């Protein structure tokens, strides 16, 4: 497991350097290049793993890339992958393009990891500008809660990261970024159909948040109590309809008991570990909303608060069917910004580092506990060089 911690250290070091340069106005590289460099440590570890690390590599990852390497017709390949693995076009296209350059699966896994992590880093850079939350703590939370799953649920991880960037754009400049949001949402959808949940993020931003901002704090909580269950009920109804029509039929297995989501560490102890931090932050963000007079920040924090509450509810739903907890992973990703932002309520700028360090301890405990339990089959890590 040491390799995972080495990659964390390298990522944090690069992120801290970037934070310092940004604070001093010397971050001269374009955001894309910054994201590329910061993504390298985690992507290298992803690329150097054997095919035994992560279940999706074994289920479709190796087979799809091997087929792409031997295919001479793009159209025939895409059709074959749709029949054999039900692969979305975006993932199939990425396989085919990389296979034109190399037939090495590990190079493909490295590129896939870069495609996954770079959009997240770009979104984090936008959130740093918006909320003044350092990049290093956002990357640390991502590593602890989401990085392990990127080695396993590969297609959905790309979709989640692209949607994260889409929401970051949406929150940064509403007037100009709605079209960009839907373009990125379409790209995410072409890697995993569950990215359709992105519509929920847009609805929260466009309608629900506006209603809440215009109300007094005394009636805000009752409104939340009605709105959030309504979103979940409506979402559940839509998912069932889509399953029955075949649109999400291949994801119906997540509601059963025959996949890793239902087999590894799904007891109350894991749910408590994963939700104790978000539950605390819900309280802290609520206090912030009560005390703050900044209407623009209130608007954004309310959005993140609703997303965080949905995240918590979907994690509790993992005690029954797992489809909603799988969809909930899109909301979990936003803990990377909401958790450090919530802790800022307790600490001023001078003592902020203390809150961030406390959060990192919590995140490391999560990563170690979940990874050691065997979730996603990413432990023990195995190199292609036969190192341990």
pLDDT on residue 27: 79
**Spatial distance between the Cα atoms of 233 and 123, rounded to a whole number of angstroms:** 29
Q: Which of 133-147, 287-301, 306-320 has the lowest mean pLDDT?
A: 287-301
pLDDT on residue 69: 94
Q: Is the pLDDT of residue 281 over 60?
A: yes
pLDDT on residue 317: 77
Q: Which of 61-65, 117-121, 350-354 has the lowest mean pLDDT?
A: 350-354
pLDDT on residue 275: 93
pLDDT on residue 265: 42
Average pLDDT over residues 349-378: 91
Q: Which of 112-116, 201-205, 252-256 has the lowest mean pLDDT?
A: 252-256
Average pLDDT over residues 50-77: 92
pLDDT on residue 201: 92
53 or 317: which leads in pLDDT: 53
Average pLDDT over residues 295-305: 83
Query: Percent of the chain having pLDDT more than 70?
Result: 81
Question: To the nearest whole number, what is the mean pLDDT of the chain?
Answer: 85
Q: Give residues with Cβ within 8 angstroms of 130, minimum separation 6.
A: 171, 172, 300
**Spatial distance between the Cα atoms of 168 and 60, rounded to a whole number of angstroms:** 31
pLDDT on residue 204: 85
Q: Is the pLDDT of residue 125 over 60?
A: yes
57 or 376: which leads in pLDDT: 57
pLDDT in tens, 9-21: 999 999 999 999 9
pLDDT on residue 158: 97
**Spatial distance between the Cα atoms of 135 and 137, rounded to a whole number of angstroms:** 6
pLDDT on residue 47: 96
pLDDT in tens, 186-222: 999 999 988 989 998 988 887 765 665 555 555 555 6
Average pLDDT over residues 305-323: 81
pLDDT on residue 258: 47
pLDDT on residue 153: 92
**Spatial distance between the Cα atoms of 169 and 192, rounded to a whole number of angstroms:** 20
**Spatial distance between the Cα atoms of 306 and 373, rounded to a whole number of angstroms:** 30
Q: How confident is the model at residue 292 (pLDDT cuts 50, 70, 90)?
A: confident
């Amino acid at each position: 497991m040491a390799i995972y911690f080495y990659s964390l250290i390298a990522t944090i070091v690069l992120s801290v350097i970037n934070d310092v340069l940004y604070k001093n106005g010397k971050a001269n590289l374009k955001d894309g290049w910054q994201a590329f460099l910061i993504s390298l440590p985690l992507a290298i570890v992803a690329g150097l793993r054997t095919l035994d690390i992560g279940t999706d590599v074994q289920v479709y990852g190796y087979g799809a890339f091997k087929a792409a390497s031997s295919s001479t017709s793009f159209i025939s390949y895409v059709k074959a992958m749709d029949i054999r693995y039900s692969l979305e076009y975006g993932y199939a296209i990425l396989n085919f393009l990389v296979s034109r350059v190399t037939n090495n699966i590990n190079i493909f896994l490295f590129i896939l990891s870069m495609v996954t992590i770079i959009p997240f880093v770009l979104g984090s850079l936008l959130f740093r500008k918006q909320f003044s939350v350092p990049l290093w703590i956002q990357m640390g939370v991502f590593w602890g809660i989401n990085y392990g799953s990127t080695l396993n649920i590969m297609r959905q991880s790309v979709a989640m990261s692209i949607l994260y960037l889409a929401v970051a754009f949406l929150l940064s400049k509403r007037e100009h970024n709605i079209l960009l949001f839907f373009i990125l949402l379409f790209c995410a959808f072409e890697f995993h159909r569950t990215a359709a949940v992105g519509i929920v993020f847009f609805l929260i931003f466009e309608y629900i948040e506006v209603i809440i901002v215009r109300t007094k704090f005394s009636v805000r909580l009752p409104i939340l109590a009605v709105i959030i269950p309504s979103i979940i009920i409506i979402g559940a109804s839509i998912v069932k309809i889509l399953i029955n029509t075949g649109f999400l039929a291949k994801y119906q297995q997540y509601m059963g008991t025959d996949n890793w989501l239902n087999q590894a560490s799904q007891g109350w102890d894991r749910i408590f570990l994963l939700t104790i931090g978000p539950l605390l932050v819900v309280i802290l963000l609520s206090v912030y909303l009560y005390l703050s007079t900044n209407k623009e920040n209130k608007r954004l924090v309310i959005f993140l608060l609703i997303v965080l509450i949905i995240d918590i509810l979907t994690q509790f739903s993992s005690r029954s069917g797992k489809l909603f907890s799988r969809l909930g992973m899109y909301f979990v990703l936003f803990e990377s910004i909401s958790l450090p932002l919530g802790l800022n309520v307790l600490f001023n700028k001078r003592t902020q580092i203390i809150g961030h360090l406390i959060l990192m301890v919590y995140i490391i405990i999560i990563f170690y506990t979940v990874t050691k339990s065997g979730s996603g089959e990413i432990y023990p890590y195995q190199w292609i060089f036969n190192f341990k």
